[in-house]
Amino acid sequence: MKATITLLAALPLLATLALAGPVSAETLLIERVQEENSAALPARGQSMAQVEARHGAPAQRMDPRGGQKSQWPTINRWVYPAFTVYFENTRVIDVVANKADATEIGPKPPIL
């Protein structure tokens, strides 16, 4: 009896979806990142030397930010084709996937 009630409650939703027509196929950045192998990305805590040894030289090394006071660590950014690595001083603190192409929905490119 319970399954019949659940099915009846879902019928209006199914009818709405059937009448909605074709769905556009946009690729979300988060979907691509979830599909990628996270082992291929630098890990938090790795040194700059370890990242460069494993992934090669970055396509671009952004100017460092911060470091004006001892409470503000220097943040370095290295841009690779598929991701950007953020370092606090010389250690990885984060890795962010870059947009693959203009049709992908995700973060904007890094500010230069």
Q: What is the model's pLDDT at position 85? A: 96
- 108 domain-assigned: no
Mean pLDDT per block of 10 residues along the chain (112 residues) reads: 55 59 58 65 95 96 91 94 93 86 66 65
- 71 domain-assigned: yes
- 20 domain-assigned: yes
Tell me the residue range of the domain where 75 lies: 2-97
- 109 domain-assigned: no
Radius of gyration of the chain (CA): 22
- 106 domain-assigned: no
How many domains does one find in the chain?
Answer: 1
- 112 domain-assigned: no
- 7 domain-assigned: yes
Q: What is the model's pLDDT at position 97? A: 81
Q: What is the model's pLDDT at position 19? A: 59
